Amino acid sequence: MPSTIKSLKLISDPTRLRILMLLHDDALSVAELQEILGMGQSRISTQLSQLKTAGLVSDARSGKNNMYSATLPTELAEITLRAASEIPEVPSDELALRHILRKRKDTARSYFDELAGRFGKDYVPGRSWKALAEALIKSLNYRRVADLGAGEGTLSQLLAQRAEKVIAIDLSPKMVEYAQNLAISNGLPNLEFRIGDIEEPPIDEKSIDLAILSQALHHAENPQKAIDSAYRILAPGGRIIILDLLQHSFEEARELYGDRWLGFSESHLSSMLEKAGFAEIETLIADKEEAPPKFQTLLAMGTR
């Protein structure tokens, strides 16, 4: 029987309390706890070691990982649940946990990860990411599309070849002027560029079938607000597609590329989509660069 005094002392720490809440119903690995909590491996391992020594957590080997579970006595479990209501991070932890559990059930995920790692390594005449992207875009069948954070409009022009109407949003007046002139010269009257912020895009509510944020979200001051706004402009059944960087530690990106955020973890992006109201959420690693700093591209999708 764990010492009540020692247990209460351990539970009083917010980080250990968050860990116990996550392990209450589901066994998780250290890597999964890292992804949910956004903390380093050593910090989490230290907390787990203390909880295990006190008899509040147990572990079991599963393949290459140790899976941790809470082993709280009933009275301590009740105290933990009550105390957790005072921790502001717990609701977001629960969203991230649901994402982790969805990933486990996604048997196709490992296939896509492997494919993303192999694609382009072996030369095959005519096969490239650009060719694949153009083929997929031409197969899309959406009437009204919003390209949020469109930049010079390369993606918008590809989308306009298929869609009935494409509205491209960018914050830079010069970029919008350049892109709009390019669209006119290329004979794309269904492509309209508008000056605006992706956090408050100048687009009517429920008027869009597909919203795309391609390498734009990490420039947003408030990424959650940008995703909320995408939900607002989408019609019921509309889809969102996000391409962005996987969370990284290349600090120079802030100065070199004007990045506000150093990418996003899969669980964080999934949590933001779920919080906005999206369903049928999927995430996967779409590309892995070989050259330093070895950026990885994260693809996320959801349905309104």
Q: Please give the Cα distance from 36 to 100 (Å, whole number).
A: 8
Whether 121 shows a pLDDT value over 80: the answer reads no
The pLDDT assigned to 142 comes to 87
Question: Residue 258 CA to chain centroid, in angstroms?
Answer: 20
The mean pLDDT of 97-126, rounded to a whole number, is: 62
The mean pLDDT of 11-35, rounded to a whole number, is: 91
Q: Spelled out in words, what is the top-level CATH class assigned to the domain 4-88?
A: mainly alpha
Query: What's the pTM value of the predicted model, to 2 decimals?
Result: 0.68
- Report the share of the chain in percent with pLDDT over 90: 59
245 forms beta bridges with 297
Q: Please give the Cα distance from 102 to 267 (Å, whole number).
A: 10
The pLDDT assigned to 39 comes to 92
The pLDDT assigned to 106 comes to 63
Whether 123 shows a pLDDT value over 60: the answer reads no
Nearest to 272 by CA among 222, 200, 202: 222
The pLDDT assigned to 110 comes to 55
The pLDDT assigned to 135 comes to 65
- Report the share of the chain in percent with pLDDT over 70: 88
The pLDDT assigned to 236 comes to 97
In CATH, 109-303 is 3.40.50.720: no
Higher pLDDT, 246 or 110: 246
Lowest-pLDDT range, 54-63, 156-165, 169-178, 248-257? 54-63
Whether 1 shows a pLDDT value over 80: the answer reads no
Whether 129 shows a pLDDT value over 90: the answer reads no
SS3 assignment for 60-114: EEECCEEEEEECCCHHHHHHHHHHHCCCCCHHHHHHHHHHHHHHHHCCCHHHHHH
pLDDT in tens, 158-213: 899 889 999 999 999 999 999 999 899 999 999 999 999 999 999 999 999 999 99
Whether 116 shows a pLDDT value over 80: the answer reads no
The pLDDT assigned to 108 comes to 44
Indicate where the chain has its CATH 3.40.50.150 domain(s): 109-303
How sure is the predictor about 105, in pLDDT bands with cuts at 50, 70 and 90?
low
Mean pLDDT of the chain: 87
The pLDDT assigned to 120 comes to 58
Q: Which element (helix H / strand E) includes 214?
A: strand 208-214
Q: Please give the Cα distance from 44 to 60 (Å, whole number).
A: 17
How sure is the predictor about 75, in pLDDT bands with cuts at 50, 70 and 90?
confident
How sure is the predictor about 126, in pLDDT bands with cuts at 50, 70 and 90?
low
The pLDDT assigned to 134 comes to 65
The pLDDT assigned to 194 comes to 96
Here the tokens at position 280 are: 């049928």
Indicate where the chain has its CATH 1.10.10.10 domain(s): 4-88
